[in-house]
Structure 1
Amino acid sequence: MKYMLVGVLFALFGLVVCRPEDQYTNKYDNIDIEEIIKSDRLINSYFKCLMTGEGCTPDGAELRKILPDAIHSGCSKCSRKHKDVSKRMINHLIKNKPELWKQLEEKFDPQATYRTKYKDELEKEGFKGFKTN
């Protein structure tokens, strides 16, 4: 679940509110994930929002609100775009910000329930070295 957690988390950058079709909104699909990845300030801002609820932008606050549902459901309400953005952010956090990744994982999946649940699926999608400990 290690990768799915933040994948879901940042896939939700582009979604945030449920639509009648039982999908997260595409209202934020134009967010430039590369701009966020290149900016420690933006990453830290979203991280603080997710961890504490402080300093949230409207999209960050919605992300924080729906993240538990998205993790629980395997991002079933996410679009392909949301999932692609999530994968990009997950890879970045794991490779470049492992201390932030670990804290997010401890907060949103402390028993490694989802990390274990999604292990096989994530490995099929190319996340190598995935650990369930």
Structure 2
Amino acid sequence: MFLTAMKSLPLIVIFSTIFFMQGCFCKYIVRNIREVAETYPTKYDNIDVGSILASERLLKNYMNCLLDKGPCSPDGQLLRQYLPDALQSECSKCSEKQKKIAGTVLSNLLQNHKDYWQQLLNKYDTDGSFLKKHRGFAAGEAEDYSDLDEARK
């Protein structure tokens, strides 16, 4: 009986190893699927945001898209779809590149296009939570958006 058990031991080890590896592989796949589902698409991460911000026409088109005042390009549609969640979650699902782009855009709007900035806040930050998270000042103090400037570096 002992010899029979010894002969089947390698088979048990092999099967146990296979089942263990399958379990690990399945966990790896599930974890990676969750990670992918928890990030925004990176399809447009290489867009030249500087040229958009430098062009009044392009910037106006994007703003009209985001504010539901005009048609959207495919990348504009994607941005409009994810912007509310990105603002609420502090861009937690953004890639590093998307965070830098967001910092560049927000900083530019604050410095050069306060009217667009205010319109975006009116639409996407109706309860003021985004401003509360990023202002870092009490009522009556000077505005401080330095954390947004840091994001674009």
Work out whether the TM-score is over 0.5.
yes
2:97 alignment partner in structure 1: 81
Question: Residues 123 and 96 of structure 1: is their aligned pair in 2 closer, same or farther, counting only changes over 3 Å?
Answer: closer
Larger Rg, first or second structure (1 or 2): 2
**Within 2, Cα distance between the matches of 1:63 and 1:72?**
14
Match of 1:34 among 50, 55, 58: 50
Aligned residue type for 1:125: D
User: Contact conserved, 1:19 with 1:25, CA < 8 A, in 2?
Assistant: no
**Within 2, Cα distance between the matches of 1:117 and 1:92?**
19
Aligned length in residues: 110
Q: Find out whether 1:46 has 2:56 as its counterpart.
A: no
CA RMSD of aligned residues (A): 2.4
Question: Residues 102 and 30 of structure 1: is their aligned pair in 2 closer, same or farther, counting only changes over 3 Å?
Answer: same
List gaps (5 residues or longer) in structure 1.
1-17, 128-133
Structure showing the higher helix proportion among its residues: 2
Residues 52-104 of structure 1: CA deviation (Å, up to 9, x unaligned): 16310011111111111111111100011111111111111111111111111
| TM-score, length basis structure 2 | 0.64
| TM-score, length basis structure 1 | 0.73
List gaps (5 residues or longer) in structure 2.
1-33, 137-143
Aligned structure 1 segments of 4 or more residues deviating by more than 4 angstroms: none
